Amino acid sequence: MFADYVYEKSAAKYADKILLIDADHLAEDTRFTDGFKARGFEIVVYHDDLSFRIEYEEKIKSREGRIAVVVTPDQYVPYDLRRRMTAYKVSLADLFPRLNTAVLRESDSATYDLVSSAYERTYDQYQTSAATEQFLRVQAYSKENVRGNLDSSFQELLRRSEGCTSYREWFAIAEEKARIDCMAVQYDLAMDTTEINLRFRDYILSQYGKLSTSMDRESPVLVSKAMEFMHEHSKKFIIIVMDGMSEFDWRILSRSFNSIHYRQTAAFAMIPTVTSVSRQCLLSNKYPRELVNPWSQSKEKQEFIDCAKNLGFADTQIEWKESELENDDLKNYKAKAEYYVRQHQDNAVIQKLKSNVPLTGEDVKVLEGILWSEVGTKQEYEAEYGAKPLGEFVREIVGLDMNAAKAAFASFLNDTNLDSRQIYFVNQIVEYIVHNGMMKDLSVLQEPPFTDQGSIVEVFTDLTVWLGIRRAIEQVNANAAA
């Protein structure tokens, strides 16, 4: 791990007060200070002489406690403070003297974990650009090195999460889990990190009720305090809401932000974590029980405007734009309805449709309320889709969950009497239904890829097997016919 590597290279093992001179601005991108924090150091980011003296001068002078102060080379630290700390310059050139620094700087900061583990296993010189690029390609990015890094990282994550009761530490754990998951996908390595999810669930069940009373000057603890936090830390701010984005998704998206300077923080969602509640709590500075209509987004614009006014903003300083819905191509009923369904896949009824669970009469009423009242009218729906059942409409948009699709055809996929061509045929049906939600038009079975290994008659010489598969298809379709 890069954080451990930096710690081992520093003088921290021999001193309790460390001045880390972050020459290449690595602290924010790589979190190398985690290596010091794990060994009992309090991490302090230096801003200016006055604020530092007020809060930390006595601690620096004291013989008690361990402190690591992070500064950049251009920041002035008075001599009387500086002399009480052991200085260590953190730079790529000092950490990896046998590699080409320019090439390293062009690499993703996530690469440094791999570089540090591979670097310690070789004593060759790689100072030229070509040599360093070869080192990265052949040694740092090798599957063996990546696997070792991920296994080591995950074991450390299990250690950190064991009995963890610090919400701030859980933010860091979530980020590290996302890094491991992303890298495993990138290098096509099997990694099961679900144990972290289970431990987080246990933490939430026991500690969530206490979070509303937690205070943190670095970030809002709950999303319902995000507006207030942004107001206190910025005169102008824009909120961009992307529903349902996980740490995994953010890690991939954030790679496009390398040229943008930003500070990353995290907050806990409100429970229940459905879109309508989460978004309104974010935009209104309210808890769920305070919302006028927590189960609908129809009031969120007004909630946002009221919140902004309460924070002291004038009408001319407040603007609301739901960009996708205000585009000309999204003003018609069809676009609004499809957009709504895609953005609300956490809705219980929509989840049923995605999971191939038959709908009840109450479920149908929920869909009617959404599509015939909230999004538009019944007349608009029928003008666009005719008599198409509401469940079919939703299923065609969200598709079918892969596990649910496989379960629907499990009796065939697990049948040892089926040959490879028949298994292939059933798997193609599963893939089709996962992406399209249903299979209403069976004529598609007369086209590739279904016919790649023969027609239905050629593949299923015993037509009773085919008829069983057809009944399974019809049942999947029927479960959406609400």
- pLDDT tens for each residue of 105-122: 888 777 888 999 898 888
- H or E element that contains 457: helix 456-459
Instruction: Specify the 3-state DSSP secondary structure of 102.
Output: helix
Q: Between vectors from CA 280 to CA 279 and to CA 282, what angle results, nearest 5°?
A: 65
How many Cβ atoms from other residues are within 10 Å of residue 112's Cβ?
25
Gap between the Cα atoms of 44 and 440, Å rounded? 62
- The pLDDT, as a whole number, for residue 445 is 93
- pLDDT tens, residue by residue, 332-382: 788 888 888 888 888 899 999 999 999 999 999 999 999 998 888 899 899
Supply the DSSP string of 357-385, one letter for each residue. PPPPHHHHHHHHHIIIIISS-HHHHHHHH
Among 398, 429, 446, give the residue marking a domain's end.
Answer: 398
Gap between the Cα atoms of 114 and 150, Å rounded? 9
**235 and 308 housed in the same domain:** yes
**307 and 351 housed in the same domain:** no
Residue 445 lies in a domain: yes
Contact 480, 438 (CB under 8 A): yes
Percent of the chain with pLDDT over 70: 97
| Long-range contacts of 36-40, Cβ-Cβ distance < 8 Å, separation of 24 or more | 36/3, 36/7, 36/10, 36/12, 36/68, 37/68, 38/3, 39/7, 39/12, 39/66, 40/66
Contact 406, 430 (CB under 8 A): yes
Residue 109 lies in a domain: no
Residue 336 lies in a domain: yes
What are the tokens at 190?
């099997």
Supply the DSSP string of 40-73, one letter for each residue. TPEEEE---HHHHHHHHHHHHHSSSS-EEEEE-T
Q: How far is CA 217 from CA 210, 252, 325, 413, in A?
A: 17, 28, 35, 55
Residue 86 phi/psi, 5-degree rounding, is: -90, 120
**18 and 48 housed in the same domain:** yes
**336 and 348 housed in the same domain:** yes
Gap between the Cα atoms of 195 and 213, Å rounded? 28
Residue 449 lies in a domain: yes
**394 and 414 housed in the same domain:** no
- The pLDDT, as a whole number, for residue 477 is 94
Among 213, 231, 251, give the residue marking a domain's end.
Answer: 213
**3 and 39 housed in the same domain:** yes
The radius of gyration of the chain's CA atoms, rounded to the nearest angstrom, is: 28
**338 and 309 housed in the same domain:** no
Instruction: Domain of residue 264: give its range.
Output: 223-317
Give every residue of the chain whose pLDDT is below 70, as ranges: 244, 258-259, 322-331, 482
Q: Quote the number of domains for the chain.
A: 5
Q: Between vectors from CA 418 to CA 412 and to CA 424, what angle results, nearest 5°?
A: 75
- The pLDDT, as a whole number, for residue 472 is 95
Residue 104 lies in a domain: no
Distance of CA 449 to the CA centre of its chain: 34
How many Cβ atoms from other residues are within 10 Å of residue 37's Cβ?
17
- The pLDDT, as a whole number, for residue 237 is 82
Distance of CA 326 to the CA centre of its chain: 27
Instruction: Specify the 3-state DSSP secondary structure of 170.
Output: helix
Residue 416 phi/psi, 5-degree rounding, is: -70, -10
Residue 124 lies in a domain: no
Among 95, 129, 153, give the residue marking a domain's end.
Answer: 95
What is the maximum alpha-carbon separation in the chain? 90
- The pLDDT, as a whole number, for residue 326 is 45
- The pLDDT, as a whole number, for residue 322 is 64
- The pLDDT, as a whole number, for residue 340 is 85
**40 and 77 housed in the same domain:** yes
- The pLDDT, as a whole number, for residue 328 is 45
Residue 409 lies in a domain: yes
| HSE (side-chain half, CA atoms, 13 Å) at 57 | 12
The residue written with tokens 């038009």 in the block is 441
For the chain, the straight-line distance linking the first and the last C-alpha, in angstroms and rounded, comes to 53
Residue 251 lies in a domain: yes
CB burial class (10 A; 0-12, 13-18, 19+) of residue 161?
A: buried
Strands 17-22 and 86-90 come out as parallel
**364 and 418 housed in the same domain:** no
